[in-house]
Amino acid sequence: MRKIIYAGIGAIAAATMATAAWADDIMVATAGPMTGQYASFGEQMKNGAELAVEEINAAGGVNGKMLKLSVGDDACDPKQAVAVANKFVGDGVVFVAGHFCSGSSIPASAVYAEEGIVQISPASTNPKLTDERAGPGVYRVCGRDDQQGAVAGAYIAANYAGKKVAIIHDKTAYGKGLADETKKALNAAGMTEALYEAYTAGEKDYTALVSKLKAEGIDVL
């Protein structure tokens, strides 16, 4: 996250050209799951962004102006991500390092694109984020699901030929996207999965899913 803030310096510097002379600070932001099951990742994003802003300001800021950081908690929820994006718009943010989950980055990107806010995601791997980008200021600095899935599918086909394979996902944009791409690569290599199943993340009882896996005699999950 620290590197992403530095990577956004060009966009931040350009934004200062349009910033009113009376504005003392340049608003930047990071957004991710500060609460919920992925909160540990959100905490890392927040810490990295805070460190980058501290270092940049200590070195004189950008074009003589200091950076001010806004932190948004989307809990990896699409609706909450849009609310966070709209709050950033109200805060006058010009650059966002985020979001974490693809399901958050994709809907939030439409808000940022409409307002001319540059967005760089450190972790959103769904190809739609950039293939169907809402605007020219939407970027990512991580591998895509189709790249990861191609590797996973090819590996399974090469090392587990003749085995029963199950592909499961948690219905999120990331989970389903990666599962679909893994399935595509596996099928292209001549293997067909024995089971392709979705589950709901956060449930306390997965007995039904485990029973189905056992009934199918799954070797590789």
Taking 3-state DSSP, the helix, strand and coil percentages for the chain, each rounded to the nearest 5, stand at 50, 20, 35
The pTM score is 0.82
Q: CATH says 145-215 is which class? A: alpha beta
pLDDT at 14: 60
Amino acid identity, residue 54?
Answer: E
Q: Which CATH superfamily is domain 2-140 in?
A: Response regulator (3.40.50.2300)
For residue 48, what are the contacts with CB-CB under 8 A and spacing of at least 6?
1, 2, 4, 5, 30
67 sits in which H/E element: strand 66-73
Q: What is the pLDDT of residues 71-103, one digit of tens each?
A: 999 999 999 999 999 999 999 999 999 999 999
Domain borders along the chain are 2-140, 145-215
Q: How many C-beta atoms surround the C-beta of residue 45 within 10 A?
A: 24
User: Which residue matches tokens 């009934």?
Assistant: 215
For residue 166, give both structure tokens. Answer: 């199950």
